C-alpha cells in the first residue's frame, strides 16, 4: 500500500513551491492542439494558489537537444494564464534556472505563479544530474510532484531535486493527479474488489511480459486481444496469416497459459478475427474463425463472437483494468472490438474501471467513453510499469506520510 504525503498534508502558506507538472502537450507552431494535460494539472495548481503558496511550475516538452524555441513552454504559460484567470509569468531562460527565473521568483507574492522554461533544455535533466537538481531546489522551499507521465524516469525535476529540498527541511509531496494515479493504478490493482478482470491489447507480447506475469498473480480473468493475441494463436499451431506475430514469444505465451491454469485464472483469447487484405480502412475485410486466417490476410480487430465473449467476461466485474486496444481502432472498420470492450466497461455499475494510459486512453476518449470510466491514467510508460508492479522513481522520491 503506497501512502505518500499529498498537498493536503503540507502547509505552503508564504512558501515557494516548485511543482513538477506534465505540460508535454502537442503543438502546432505556438498553438496547443490538445490541452488535456494542462486541464488535468489545474486542481493541484489552484489548491497551491488558494493555500497562499508561491507557485513555481516546471515541466519538459518534447525531446529538444538543448535550447530550441520550437520546444519552448511560452505557449503553455499563455494558455495557463487564461485557464487560471491570472497571470502565469514565464521565465524565459535558456538554462532554465537563470536570471529571469531568479528575478521572477524573488518578486513573487503569495498566490503568484511562475513557469520555468523546458527542463530538457538542460542535458543533465534526463541524467538526474546533481548540479541542475540543486539549482532547481534553490528556487523553492517545498516540492510537489504532479507529473505521473514521467514518474517511471529518475530525472532532476522529479527525483534529484527532492534530495536538496529535504536538506533544507522542506516537504516533498504529490499533487492531486499523482495521488489519483497511486490510488487507482497502485492501490486498487494491489487490493482489488473482486471479481477483478484485466484486459490487455496493443501490438506486442514482448512489451507486456512483466504486466502479464504480475497480473496473473492478481486477477480472476485475463483477456488478451489486439496484436498480442496472434502470438498466442500461433503458439497453438494456428494459422495467423500476415498478422502481427512475435515468433520468439510463442513458448512464453504457452507458459503464461499454463500459469493461468495453475492459478485458476481464466485466460481468454479471440475465438474469431476480423481480417483484411491490406492495412487500410478501405481494405477488403471479413470475419473468420480462430485458426482460419488466410495466408494473404492479416487480423486487424477481434471478431463479433470475441467481442461478445469479452463483454460477457467484463459483466459483473468489480474492478477492471484495461491497457491496449483490441484492434486498429483509428480505422472505423476495425474499431468494433475496442468499442465493445469500452461499452462493456461503461455499463458496469458500482465497479472501478481503470484505463491504463497510452493507446487505450486515446481510444476511450476518441470513442466517447472517457467520462464513463472511473480513472484514465495520464501516463503511458509509467502506467505500464505500475501495472508490472515496479517501483516508480518519481513516486518513491515523495515523502511517506
What phi and psi values does residue 178 have, to the nearest 5 degrees? Answer: -65, -40
| Average pLDDT of the chain to the nearest whole number | 95
Cell numbers found for residue 259: 500459469
State the pLDDT at residue 170.
98
User: Nearest Cα to 256, choosing from 235, 270, 239?
Assistant: 235
Residue with cell 488535468: 40
DSSP code at position 365: H
- pTM for the predicted model, two decimal places: 0.88
- List the beta strands (DSSP E) in 104-217: 113-116, 142-145, 172-174, 196-200
All residues at 6 or more sequence positions from 162 whose CB lies less than 8 Å from its CB, including other chains: 143, 172, 397, 398
The rounded radius of gyration (Å) of the Cα atoms in the chain is 23
Mean pLDDT of 73-92: 98
94-108, 208-222, 380-394: least confident range: 380-394
End-to-end CA, the chain:
12
pLDDT digits (tens, 9 = 90+) for 236-258: 999 999 999 999 999 999 999 99
pLDDT at residue 268 is higher than 80: yes
Which pLDDT band, with edges at 50, 70 and 90, does 364 fall under?
confident
Q: Which helix (H) or strand (E) element contains residue 104?
A: helix 99-106
What average pLDDT does range 218-240 have in this prediction? 96
How would you write 8-69 as a 3-class SS string? HHCCCCCCEEEEECCCCCCEECCEECCCHHHHHHHHHHHHHHHCCCEEEEECCCCCCCCCCH
Q: Please, which pLDDT band fits residue 356 given cuts at 50, 70 and 90?
A: confident
> What gap in Å lies between CA 270 and CA 290, rounded to an integer?
7
Torsion of CA 88, 91, 92, 94, to 10 degrees: -140
Report, as an integer, the average pLDDT of 68-88. Answer: 98
pLDDT, residue 366, reads: 84
Q: How far is CA 295 from the centre of its chain?
A: 36
Q: Cβ contacts of residue 209 below 8 Å, gap of 6+?
A: 249, 252
Per-residue pLDDT band at 329 (split at 50, 70, 90) = very high
pLDDT at 1: 64
Beta bridge partners of 222: 198, 267
Three-class SS state of 400: strand
pLDDT in tens, 32-63: 998 889 999 999 999 999 999 999 999 999 99
The residues, any chain, with a CB within 8 Å of residue 275's CB and separated by 6 or more, are 241, 243, 285, 286, 287, 288, 293, 294, 297, 298, 299, 300
- Please tell me the least confidently modeled range out of 73-82, 269-278, 360-369: 360-369
Span 261-271, average pLDDT? 98
Determine the pLDDT at residue 216.
95
Location of C-alpha cell 480473468 = 221
The stretch 142-168 carries a mean pLDDT of 97
Residue-level pLDDT at 187:
75
- pLDDT of 357 > 80? The answer is no
Give residue 92's pLDDT.
Answer: 96
Catalytic residue IDs: 37, 204, 358, 381
User: Is 288 exposed, middle or buried, given 0-12, 13-18 or 19+ CB atoms closer than 10 A?
Assistant: middle
3-state secondary structure of 173: strand
pLDDT tens track for 290-319: 999 999 999 999 999 999 999 999 999 999
Amino acid at each position: 500500500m503506497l501512502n505518500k504525503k499529498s498537498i493536503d498534508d503540507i502547509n505552503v502558506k508564504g512558501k515557494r513551491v516548485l511543482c513538477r507538472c506534465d505540460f508535454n502537450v502537442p503543438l502546432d507552431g505556438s498553438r496547443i492542439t490538445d490541452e488535456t494535460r494542462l486541464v488535468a494539472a489545474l486542481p493541484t495548481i489552484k489548491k497551491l494558489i488558494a493555500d497562499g503558496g508561491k507557485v513555481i511550475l516546471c515541466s519538459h516538452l518534447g525531446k529538444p537537444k538543448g535550447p530550441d524555441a520550437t520546444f519552448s513552454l511560452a505557449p503553455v504559460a499563455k494558455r495557463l494564464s487564461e485557464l487560471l484567470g491570472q497571470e502565469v509569468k514565464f521565465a524565459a531562460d535558456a538554462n532554465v534556472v537563470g536570471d529571469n527565473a531568479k528575478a521572477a521568483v524573488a518578486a513573487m507574492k503569495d498566490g503568484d505563479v511562475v513557469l520555468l522554461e523546458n527542463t530538457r533544455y538542460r542535458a543533465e535533466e534526463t541524467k538526474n544530474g546533481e548540479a541542475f537538481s540543486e539549482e532547481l531546489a534553490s528556487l523553492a522551499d517545498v516540492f510537489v510532484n504532479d507529473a505521473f507521465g514521467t514518474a517511471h524516469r529518475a530525472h532532476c525535476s522529479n527525483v534529484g531535486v527532492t534530495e536538496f529540498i529535504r536538506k533544507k527541511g522542506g516537504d516533498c509531496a504529490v499533487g492531486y493527479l499523482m495521488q489519483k494515479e497511486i490510488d487507482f493504478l497502485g492501490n486498487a490493482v494491489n487490493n482489488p474488489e473482486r471479481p477483478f478482470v484485466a484486459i490487455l491489447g496493443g501490438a506486442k507480447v514482448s512489451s507486456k511480459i512483466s504486466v502479464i506475469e504480475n497480473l496473473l498473480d492478481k486477477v480472476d480473468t485475463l483477456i488478451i486481444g489486439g496484436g498480442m493475441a496472434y502470438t498466442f494463436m500461433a503458439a497453438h499451431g494456428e494459422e495467423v496469416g500476415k498478422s502481427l506475430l512475435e515468433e520468439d514469444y510463442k513458448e512464453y505465451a504457452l507458459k503464461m497459459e499454463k500459469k493461468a491454469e495453475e492459478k485458476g485464472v481464466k485466460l481468454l483469447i479471440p475465438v474469431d478475427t476480423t481480417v483484411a487484405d491490406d492495412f487500410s480502412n478501405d481494405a477488403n475485410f471479413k470475419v473468420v474463425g480462430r485458426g482460419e486466417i488466410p495466408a494473404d490476410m492479416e487480423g486487424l480487430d477481434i471478431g463479433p463472437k470475441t467481442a461478445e465473449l469479452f463483454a460477457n467476461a467484463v459483466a459483473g466485474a468489480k474492478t477492471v483494468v484495461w491497457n491496449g486496444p483490441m484492434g486498429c481502432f483509428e480505422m472505423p472498420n476495425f474499431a468494433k472490438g475496442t468499442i465493445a470492450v469500452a461499452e462493456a466497461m461503461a455499463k458496469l455499475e458500482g465497479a472501478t474501471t481503470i484505463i491504463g494510459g497510452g493507446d487505450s486512453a486515446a481510444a476511450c476518449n476518441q470513442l466517447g467513453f472517457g467520462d464513463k470510466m472511473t480513472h484514465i491514467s495520464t501516463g503511458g510508460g509509467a502506467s505500464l510499469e505500475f501495472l508490472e508492479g515496479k517501483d516508480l522513481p518519481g513516486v518513491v522520491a515523495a515523502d511517506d506520510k
